[in-house]
């Protein structure tokens, strides 16, 4: 029997999964712990065993978001090839994730997180940044990227990709702009990274 067991088995994971669906379908404001519990066939207080707070659930959800984003970034760019291609792949992976999970991205970068959760989120975000940093370092080695401290190149580039994704996701860009704009953004980033022309 499935429906009548007292213990759910993995309620925590089920809550996160269902929460993300609801987030995607009805927005963050409509996310209610009680409704989640109802959907999963457990009592309204059961979620509190796994998340002390509604905010705790949101924090956890944001964390899974970063993990999936990192995974998407990791498998996106081939390990070798010209810097320009790898950068483009990374940017497409980032923007692709963003447009596929707009509400989640919003949640990930949202201001109000528990301080402790924020720490974990920073860690996860940092991990993604490392991939970009590695790419830039490689590019410097092959001379495709200007020399200098990696983060002075990496941070602006990341800001550009993230900013573009955020604008596109927020609906402030027309679908048209969102589609064609990314290529412009990529060539612009490449210009920012390129070594000075002697």
Q: Taking contact as CB under 7 A, which single stretch among the options 52-60, 72-80, 81-89, 114-122 is the one that binds DNA?
A: 52-60
Q: How far is the CB of 122 from DNA (least distance, A)?
A: 23
Q: Is 54 in the site for DNA (CB under 7 A)?
A: yes
Cβ neighbors of 111 (< 8 A, separation 6 or more) are none
Tell which residue, 168, 150, 49, has the closest CA to residue 106.
168
Total residues at interface with a copy of itself (CB under 8 A): 47
Q: Is 6 in the site for DNA (CB under 7 A)?
A: yes
CB atoms within 10 A of CB 18: 16
Q: How far is the CB of 111 from DNA (least distance, A)?
A: 17
DSSP conformation class of 196: P
Structure tokens of 148?
């200098």
DSSP conformation class of 110: -
**What span, in angstroms and rounded, lies between the C-alpha atoms of 109 and 69?**
12
The interface partner of residue 46, options being DNA, a copy of itself, none and the CB cut-off 5 to 8 Å by kind, is DNA
- Site residues, a copy of itself (CB under 8 A): 27-29, 55, 102-103, 106, 109-113, 118, 121-122, 125, 151-153, 155-164, 166-167, 169-173, 177, 181, 184-185, 188-189, 191-192, 194, 196-197
């Amino acid at each position: 029997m499935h429906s009548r067991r007292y213990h759910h088995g993995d309620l925590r994971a089920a809550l996160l999964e269902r929460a993300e669906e609801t987030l995607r379908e009805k927005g963050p404001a409509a996310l209610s712990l009680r409704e989640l519990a109802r959907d999963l066939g457990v009592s309204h207080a059961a979620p509190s065993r796994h998340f002390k707070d509604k905010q705790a659930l949101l924090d956890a959800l944001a964390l899974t978001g970063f993990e999936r984003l990192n995974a998407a970034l990791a498998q996106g760019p081939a390990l070798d090839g010209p810097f320009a291609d790898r950068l483009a792949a990374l940017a497409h992976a980032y923007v692709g994730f963003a447009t596929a999970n707009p509400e989640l991205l919003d949640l990930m970068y949202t201001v109000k997180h528990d301080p402790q959760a924020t720490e974990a989120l920073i860690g996860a975000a940092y991990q993604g940044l490392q991939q970009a940093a590695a790419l830039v370092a490689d590019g410097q080695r092959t001379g495709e990227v200007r020399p200098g401290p990696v983060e002075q190149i990496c941070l602006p580039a990341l800001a550009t990709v993230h900013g573009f994704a955020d604008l596109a996701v927020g609906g402030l860009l027309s679908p048209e702009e969102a589609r064609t704009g990314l290529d412009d953004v990529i060539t612009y980033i490449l210009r920012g990274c390129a070594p000075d022309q002697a």
